[in-house]
Structure 1
Amino acid sequence: MTDLLTSIQAALGLLHSPIPFTSTGALPSAFAVTELACASIAVAGQAVSQLLHQQTGRLPGLEVDRRLASFWFSTSIRPMGWSVPPLWDPIAGDYAAKDGWIRLHTNAPHHRAAAESVLGACADRAAMASKVAQWAKSDLEQAVVDAGGCAAEMRSWEQWQAHPQGQAVNAEPLIQFAQHGRQHALLWQGSVAQPLAGIKVLDLTRVLAGPVASRFLAGLGADVLRIDPPTWNEPGVVPEMTLGKRCARLDLNDKADRSIFENLLKDADIVLHGYRADALQHLGYSSTERQRLAPGLIDVCLNAYGWSGPWQNRRGFDSLVQMSSGIADAGMRCKRADKPTPLPVQALDHATGYLMAASAITLLAERLNSGKTGSARLSLARTAKLLIENGRGDDAPLRAEDEHDQGMLVEQTPWGAAHRLHVPLKITGTPVQWKLAACKLGSHRAQWW
């Protein structure tokens, strides 16, 4: 735990101070997943604590609960009388190719269509399995990627180290900070109870990693406005990830919607996005253009496979990066299993999300203090390297959930009532809490309050 925590603190430029972790047990894994959960949540809290120290002279204490951190890395919502839709498309998953394993990610309709354009229409997993078995894994991975889809063959850590993309990621820092000049220093409008009150966060992220970051910022008082394309939906994660946010839709290929988007961007303090490295550039919103439209904007972004190397523009998700980087292979060997064995939760997504939030708060503190503006880049693959190199964690099992874990308040969502688990992070005097319940995508107008 100490090595993970100090590594992340160093990447963020935070003080190397110990943070207490309460309770016992860990998620069963070949890697220190619970330790990663605790450390990433802790540094997000430490960034808040240091912001408050800068603004008030008081340094709040911190504490992270290991059990709750582990649960939040899976899901925090417990529906009452209704169910969250399945997270995975029926044919998404791992398949045996002629010479090894490959994972197909087909949750988005266009990603499934891309896979089927290569393999043919598949009614179920059995049909897909018979077609994948006819391919060499590397050939199929490249064919699906070339078709605009998402796939990853299973590689070992050693194979990833020899791969050009693995080498590129290894050369990148955990968090790539950059400065963009100096503007007038922002006036802090927050308080100890709500440190981010008055901060506008434009959230252009989807699925898990980025939404984890914006959910955390919303829990500290930020006004988070999430923007999705007109037809995008992710029903399996929306009840979990829209907590505390307003959600609107814009089509950035439409002239009128582009004008609305640019006005939102001009008034934003922080933008979060998880587009591929070249995707916003193709839409006309490169990093340079974003800074031109919104001087002083704090720009925090992530991608799957890193910001250099031949795969920097490749589509990817947590489960695919686990296959590429050696995590699923190591899990299979550790468990003596006969198939890929990933982490028990989407830990790369969640951890990177909290690191994004910590980066945004660290950059905000600098803007409040000196007027200096900046950006941060993170990737799932670089977070994977951090996890892999820290080895195995605690093997003691977590205590199962019980009534004590239920949230203190019932959350009234559009799908029905639900409990939220207690927040794993305690910041003295600063409750992490949300004014808004989870909502459906597109529930709000694309405007700031």
Structure 2
Amino acid sequence: MTTYSIAHAMLRTIWNALDGAPDALAAVRLSGQGDLPSVFATSDLAQASVAAAGLALAGLVQSDGAAPAEVVCDRRLAAMWFSGSLRPQGWAPPPLWDAVAGDYRAADGWIRLHTNASHHRAAALAALGLDARQATREEVGQAVARWKAGELETAVVAQGGCAAQMRSQAQWATHAQGAAVAAEALVARQGVEAAAQPSGSIDPRRPLAGVRVLDLTRVLAGPTATRWLAGFGAQVLRIDPACWEEPGVVPEMTLGKRCAGLDLRQRADLACLEDLLRRADVLVHGYRADALERLGLGVQRRRELNPALVDVALNAYGWSGPWAQRRGFDSLVQMSSGIAEAGMRAAASDKPVPLPVQALDHATGYLMAAAAVRGLTLRRIAGEGSQYRLSLARTAQLLADHPAASGLAGLAPETPVDLHPHLEQTVWGPARRLRAPLSVGQAEMAWDHPASPLRSARPEWL
């Protein structure tokens, strides 16, 4: 295959899932070269997902009567953004992983424990009979070795934690959840009748200026989507509860956003969120499927508050099947779906070999951003609201369907030229960002706010 043939194939698949017109693909120019080291076409997924978001944005601009805009996506920079865009100058962010998070050998295979959140750590160690405050990685390993992987996975999940047994692709295909995910759409949309929205002209240089995005997401897919939307001018307001922290990724993922806090168990805070929702254009949320329902903010209530809302929802393991309510993260889905096992076999390794980046998170994030913009376009054209559903597991299937081409060169090392000249002044210290991997006609990615701490702003629209 040629350098871009897999990326083009993936882009066609994504664009078709977004109900895009096939002839719009002619506006896309894929540039750059190089591949992340992976048994799957990870760099192609990076380029295709970023380009799909750009193509959706070009369609929004064109809906205002503009000529079709060229969408240019750089393969190498897109793959680099999948690893991380932030380059701190003279300081370092906290570690990405908790000390006991990771892969462990069980009695009959491998299992991954995800313990970055304190309550997930407590749940996993409770299942193992260990003290969450004092247990060492060595003690965790010794305890895990006494369990069968599937039984420990069940026990951790029952405690409210996050774990995944390593399965092969063949095992996942015959698993009830794997079969359910395989039957789902990559991007599922349901249209909703709504009154037409007043629509001013679109600035082709900042196409999302004036768009209000309410962000109820956590690491990393949802924040990737809303960071991208902010990069083209959207006003993004992220809401977190007081108990949630993700210090290792906040400087990376809050770029361009204002971050506020609400306790949705409190009536006044829930009323505040409902007021924000009434005046939002887009809602992006990554709570488990039943969480908003239990808070009284289910689909019907959201539609009552804002019939024309573009509602974009994410979960880990899909929207049907026995695991539809299961907590999950990119690294766990890689273990469940056979990606880590395929990497292990290809590398002739004695332990799981995941993707070199959290590609399921990042790719799904760009697909969510593309869905949000497609929803805005359809609302502008037809006066419709939209509800979109995506999952990490369904994105994993897209990647698993595309093995990497052989004989392609790796990514060239990063150089100072790859960094944007702007110095981002964050509360943690100055930072540089990678140059953006995408342009859409006159629109270049740029952010109006530096990265900021969680709960550092008021929960209000500007």
Which category describes the TM-score, using the shorter chain as reference length?
over 0.9
Structural mapping, 1:412-427, within 5 Å: 412-427=425-440
Percentage identity across aligned positions?
53
List runs of 5+ in structure 2 lacking aligned partners.
Answer: 1-5
List runs of 5+ in structure 1 lacking aligned partners.
Answer: none
Does the aligned pair in 2 maintain the 1:29–1:344 contact within 8 Å? yes
SS of residue in 1 equivalent to 2:443: coil
Aligned to 2:424: 411
Aligned to 2:154: 142
Segments of 4+ moved more than 3 angstroms: none
Does the aligned pair in 2 maintain the 1:186–1:371 contact within 8 Å? no
Task: Pick one of 64, 69, 78 that aligns with 1:69.
Answer: 78
Aligned to 1:389: 401
Q: Residue type of the partner of 1:171?
A: A
CA distance in 1, matches of 2:66, 2:401: 37
Q: Residue type of the partner of 1:167?
A: A
SS of residue in 2 equivalent to 1:377: strand
Does the aligned pair in 2 maintain the 1:192–1:429 contact within 8 Å? yes
Q: Does 1:85 align with 2:97?
A: no
SS of residue in 1 equivalent to 2:193: strand
CA distance in 2, matches of 1:142, 1:52: 48
Q: Deviations over 1:260-309 (max 9, x none)?
A: 11110111110000011111111111111111122211100100000000
Report how many residues are paired.
449
CA distance in 2, matches of 1:213, 1:56: 26
CA distance in 2, matches of 1:186, 1:359: 21
Q: Tell me how large the CA RMSD over aligned residues is.
A: 1.0
Q: Does 1:12 align with 2:9?
A: no
Does the aligned pair in 2 maintain the 1:198–1:223 contact within 8 Å? yes
Q: Residue type of the partner of 1:13?
A: D
Does the aligned pair in 2 maintain the 1:92–1:105 contact within 8 Å? yes
**Which shifted more, 178-187 or 108-117?**
178-187
SS of residue in 2 equivalent to 1:21: strand
**Which shifted more, 33-42 or 179-188?**
179-188
SS of residue in 2 equivalent to 1:378: strand
SS of residue in 1 equivalent to 2:119: helix
Q: Residue type of the partner of 1:249?
A: G
Q: Residue type of the partner of 1:305?
A: Y
Structural mapping, 1:326-365, within 5 Å: 326-365=338-377
Q: Shift of the alpha carbon at 1:123?
A: 2.4
CA distance in 2, matches of 1:188, 1:153: 51
Q: Does 1:96 align with 2:99?
A: no
Aligned to 1:436: 449
Does the aligned pair in 1 maintain the 2:86–2:251 contact within 8 Å? yes
Aligned to 2:3: none
CA distance in 2, matches of 1:272, 1:185: 19
Q: Shift of the alpha carbon at 1:245?
A: 0.4
CA distance in 2, matches of 1:365, 1:232: 33
Task: Pick one of 55, 66, 74 that aligns with 1:46.
Answer: 55
Q: Shift of the alpha carbon at 1:331?
A: 0.3
Does the aligned pair in 1 maintain the 2:204–2:441 contact within 8 Å? no
**Which shifted more, 403-412 or 155-164?**
403-412
Task: Pick one of 109, 132, 139 that aligns with 2:144.
Answer: 132
Aligned to 1:59: 68
CA distance in 1, matches of 2:13, 2:382: 26
Q: Residue type of the partner of 1:350?
A: H
CA distance in 2, matches of 1:6, 1:84: 37
Aligned to 1:248: 260
Q: Residue type of the partner of 2:126?
A: S
Q: Does 1:185 align with 2:191?
A: no
Q: Shift of the alpha carbon at 1:189?
A: 4.8
Q: 1:150 to 1:86 in 2, by over 3 A?
A: same
Query: TM-score when scaled to structure 1?
Result: 0.98
**Which shifted more, 216-225 or 121-130?**
121-130
Query: TM-score when scaled to structure 2?
Result: 0.96
CA distance in 1, matches of 2:115, 2:421: 37
Q: Shift of the alpha carbon at 1:32?
A: 0.5
Q: Residue type of the partner of 1:397?
A: G
Task: Pick one of 259, 262, 279 that aligns with 1:267.
Answer: 279
Structural mapping, 1:164-243, within 5 Å: 164-243=176-255
SS of residue in 2 equivalent to 1:20: strand
Q: Deviations over 1:304-335 (max 9, x none)?
A: 00000000000000000000000000000011
Does the aligned pair in 2 maintain the 1:239–1:439 contact within 8 Å? yes
Q: Does 1:319 align with 2:331?
A: yes
